[in-house]
Amino acid sequence: MSFHESKSNSVWLDPQILQWTSYSQGGMEPNVAVRARAYEIWNHAEQILKGAISDFQLVDVITTLKRSIDQRIRTLNEIYSFDAIPLKNKPADILSLLESLDIVRPLMFRNLLEIRNAVEHEDARPRI
């Protein structure tokens, strides 16, 4: 028996279930290479930053970090299909949707996007 019912109508699970082998009857396991790509890009940005000696290399770090975050958001959406969730007044962009679902707090990403736009479109100098 995997559960016990007490007199107070509480149900207690037998600790033995913690020893059971887990399995999935549906869905699919995301491709590990796809999940790891965002972290590879992030590590690449870190390596550039460690050796950065010019403003151009700092711009490369900023654009690479943004690419890493974009990759991670796309991967999460591929795995969980957030855009297919039927919600009233659902935000159009994925980042706002993830924020409305309390999955991410996009403040850092938005700050990075502002910095990236400044260095890419306004030729602003990056600062550390």
Q: Which two tokens stand for residue 109?
A: 């990403």
Segments of the chain with pLDDT less than 70? 1-9, 11, 23-35, 128
Q: Residue 47: its pLDDT value, please?
A: 94
Q: Residue 82: its pLDDT value, please?
A: 85
DSSP-H helix ranges across the chain: 32-51, 55-80, 94-100, 107-121
CA 107 to mean position of chain CA atoms:
14
Q: Residue 2: its pLDDT value, please?
A: 47
Residue located via tokens 């549906």: 26
Burial 114-127 (b: 16+ CB within 10 A, else e): ebbeebeeeeeebe
How far is 35 from 46, CA to CA, in rounded Å?
Answer: 18
Report pTM. Answer: 0.65
- On whether the CB atoms of residues 119 and 59 are closer than 8 A, the answer is yes
- On whether the CB atoms of residues 63 and 120 are closer than 8 A, the answer is yes
Q: Which two tokens stand for residue 71?
A: 């990759």
How far is 69 from 65, CA to CA, in rounded Å?
Answer: 6
Q: What residue spans define the domains of the chain?
A: 29-121
